[in-house]
Structure 1
Amino acid sequence: FSSMYMTQIDDLTTAIAESMAFIKELLSIVCTQASFTLKNIFKNMLLDLRFVSLIPLSSSLIYNNKRLRIYFAPCGIALGHAGRCLPVAERLEKTFDGNIDILFSTYLDGLLFVKKTGFPVKEAPPLSFIENPDGSVNVKLTVKRSGLDILPKFFKQMLHEVKVMCSFSPDVVVSDTRLSSILAAKMLNVPSILLIHQFFIKVPSQSRVRDLVKRFAETMGMGTLSFLWSMASRILVPDFPEPYTIAKDYIRIPRTFEKKVKLIGSIIPKRPEELPPRDELRDKVLENKNSILIFAPISGTLLERTSLAKRLARIFSKIRKREIEVVLSYGSPKSDRLVCKKGNVKIYGWLNNRFEMLKASDIVVSRGGHNTLSECMYYGKPMIIIPTPYHSEHESNARSVEKLGIAKVIKDDELSVRTIEEALDELINDGSTFKKCEKISSDLSSLDPVREVTEEIFNLL
Structure 2
Amino acid sequence: MVTKKKILVAPLNWGLGHATRCIPIIRALLAENFEPIIASDGEAYALLLKEFPTLTFIELPSYKIKYAEKGKHFKLKMLWDSPKILKAIKKEKKRTKVLVKALQLDGIISDNRLGVYSKKVPSVFITHQLNVLTGNTTWFSSEIHQKIIKKFNECWVPDVVGTPNLSGKLGHVKKTDLKLKYIGPLSRLEPKELPKKYDLMVIISGPEPQRSMLESKLLIETQKFSGNVLFVRGKIEAEQHVCKEGNVEVYNYMNSVQLEKAFNESTLVLSRSGYTTVLDLAKLKKKAFFIPTPGQYEQEYLAERLADEQLVPYCNQEDFKIEMLAMVSAYKGFADFESTVELGSLFGLFQGK
TM-score by length of 2: 0.89
Distance of 2:265 and 2:303 partners within structure 1: 23
Distance of 1:407 and 1:244 partners within structure 2: 15
1:331 — aligned with what?
234
2:277 — aligned with what?
372
1:114 aligns with 2:48: yes
Aligned length: 346
The answer to whether the 8 A contact 1:278-1:359 is kept is yes
1:84 — aligned with what?
21
Deviation at 1:127?
A: 1.2
The answer to whether the 8 A contact 1:108-1:126 is kept is yes
Give the root-mean-square deviation of aligned CA atoms: 2.4
Give unpaired runs (5+ residues) of structure 2: none
- Are the structure 2 counterparts of residues 400 and 133 from structure 1 closer, same or farther at C-alpha, using a change threshold of 3 Å? same
Distance of 2:85 and 2:238 partners within structure 1: 31
1:298 — aligned with what?
204
- Are the structure 2 counterparts of residues 427 and 151 from structure 1 closer, same or farther at C-alpha, using a change threshold of 3 Å? closer
- Are the structure 2 counterparts of residues 310 and 90 from structure 1 closer, same or farther at C-alpha, using a change threshold of 3 Å? same
- Are the structure 2 counterparts of residues 278 and 176 from structure 1 closer, same or farther at C-alpha, using a change threshold of 3 Å? same
2:326 — aligned with what?
425
SS in 2 for 1:179: coil
Offset from partner CA, 1:186-219 (integer Å, 9 cap, x none): 2xx2111111100233225xxxxxxxxx33xx33
Give unpaired runs (5+ residues) of structure 1: 1-64, 205-213, 287-292
Offset from partner CA, 1:112-164 (integer Å, 9 cap, x none): 112212132111111133323577865556666x5645443321121011111
- Are the structure 2 counterparts of residues 137 and 376 from structure 1 closer, same or farther at C-alpha, using a change threshold of 3 Å? farther
Whose helix fraction is larger, Structure 1's or Structure 2's?
1
The answer to whether the 8 A contact 1:329-1:351 is kept is yes
1:12 — aligned with what?
none
Distance of 2:11 and 2:174 partners within structure 1: 23
- Are the structure 2 counterparts of residues 142 and 268 from structure 1 closer, same or farther at C-alpha, using a change threshold of 3 Å? closer
1:105 — aligned with what?
39
The within-5 A match list for 1:283-322 is: 285=197, 293-319=199-225
1:384 aligns with 2:318: no
1:458 aligns with 2:348: yes
1:24 — aligned with what?
none
Higher relative CO (CA 8 A, sep ≥ 6), structure 1 or 2?
Answer: 2
2:249 — aligned with what?
346
Deviation at 1:387?
A: 0.7
Offset from partner CA, 1:408-431 (integer Å, 9 cap, x none): 111112112xxx31x322323x4x
Aligned partner of 2:194: which letter? R
1:222 aligns with 2:153: no
Offset from partner CA, 1:73-128 (integer Å, 9 cap, x none): 111111111112121111221332xxx32211111221111221213211111113
The answer to whether the 8 A contact 1:71-1:174 is kept is yes
SS in 2 for 1:408: coil
The within-5 A match list for 1:164-203 is: 164-182=99-117, 185-186=118-119, 189-203=120-134
1:447 aligns with 2:303: no
Distance of 2:62 and 2:333 partners within structure 1: 38
> Which of 298, 303, 313 in structure 2 is aligned with 1:398?
303
> Which of 218, 243, 246 in structure 1 is aligned with 2:166?
246
Distance of 1:298 and 1:125 partners within structure 2: 24
SS in 2 for 1:324: coil
Aligned partner of 1:92: which letter? L
Distance of 2:269 and 2:207 partners within structure 1: 19
- Are the structure 2 counterparts of residues 81 and 404 from structure 1 closer, same or farther at C-alpha, using a change threshold of 3 Å? same
- Are the structure 2 counterparts of residues 334 and 278 from structure 1 closer, same or farther at C-alpha, using a change threshold of 3 Å? same
The answer to whether the 8 A contact 1:134-1:307 is kept is no
Deviation at 1:407?
A: 1.1
The answer to whether the 8 A contact 2:131-2:173 is kept is no
The within-5 A match list for 1:139-154 is: 146=81, 148-154=83-89
The answer to whether the 8 A contact 1:129-1:137 is kept is no
Distance of 2:242 and 2:348 partners within structure 1: 43
TM-score by length of 1: 0.69
Deviation at 1:245?
A: 2.0
Distance of 2:72 and 2:23 partners within structure 1: 27
Rg: which structure is higher?
1
Offset from partner CA, 1:282-305 (integer Å, 9 cap, x none): 3xx45xxxxxx1111113125433
1:126 aligns with 2:16: no
Distance of 1:324 and 1:69 partners within structure 2: 48
1:278 — aligned with what?
194
Distance of 2:188 and 2:209 partners within structure 1: 24
The answer to whether the 8 A contact 1:298-1:305 is kept is yes
